[in-house]
Amino acid sequence: MKFFLISDNIDTQIGLRLVGVKGVTVHKREEVLDVLNSLKGRRDIGILLVTEKIAALIPKELNSMRLAKKPPLVTVIPDRHGSRRPKDFITRNVEEAIGVKIK
């Protein structure tokens, strides 16, 4: 199984291409949806890497892919500018999930 990247900038794509990850650079929601449709049914892609900016364009589609429990595994990654998430996003998710504030 292979990795595949959907990125919003060429630098991230080139960096991952250097380690053997193929991918595309897109900027609009329609382009992203076209790429996702082209990936449907491909058994060779095991992990789909998506930059945070692209993930923000298609949250419902990514969520439905995750809930389908079928390959590819969807992973959101930061791009060359770093993460857009707050520093305590993991702690917040855990607190929300268990309903207890963690110090």
Rounded to an integer, what distance in angstroms lies between the CA atom of residue 35 and that of residue 38? 5
Supply the DSSP symbol for 18. T
Tens digit of pLDDT for each residue in 9-66? 999 999 999 999 999 999 999 999 999 999 987 889 999 999 999 999 999 999 998 8
> Tokens for 36?
């996702």
Say how far apart CA 3 and CA 42 lie, in whole Å: 12
Of residues 81 and 12, the one with the higher pLDDT is 12
**Edge-to-edge strand order for the sheet containing 22-25?**
22-25, 2-7, 45-51, 73-77
pLDDT given for residue 1 in this prediction: 84
Mean pLDDT, rounded, for 76-100 = 71
Q: Which domains does the chain have, with CATH numbers?
A: 2-98 (3.40.50.10580)
> Of all helices (H) and strands (E), which one includes residue 56?
helix 52-57
* More reliable by pLDDT, 8 or 70: 8
